[in-house]
Amino acid sequence: MKGTSVVYGNDTEFAEALAIQALGHLAQDKEVLERFLSITGLAPDKIREAAASPGFLAGVLDYMMQNEALLLTFSENNNIKAETIIDAHRQLSGPIPQ
């Protein structure tokens, strides 16, 4: 998957595509995926359904951002700046409540 890039569209489409790509990255490592599922409480058979939700996709990127090694590996393998992942997370999370 090295060198794979996400198709660019509007900001939300890009953020969603990036989060789905990140989810695929998590799924490549059974232990990482199991840890993610354990934290989210999501059953493996519900991932596709959950991936339709921007909130879930924001959670995927949040999970990745909390693990620097995971974030950097994903970034390097896909030629994506870590800052781009952070921006995508902001896009999917919506405005910060005040």
What is the pLDDT, as a whole number, of residue 54?
Answer: 83
Q: What is the pLDDT of residues 27-62, one digit of tens each?
A: 999 999 999 999 999 999 999 899 888 899 999 999
pTM score: 0.82
**5 within 8 A of 79, measured Cβ to Cβ:** yes
Provide mean pLDDT across the span 13-28. Answer: 94
What is the pLDDT, as a whole number, of residue 87?
Answer: 92
- Kindly list the domain boundaries of the chain, sorted by start residue: 11-91
CA torsion sign, 42 to 45 to 46 to 47? Answer: positive
Taking the C-alpha atoms of residue 88 and residue 82, their distance in angstroms, rounded to an integer, is 10
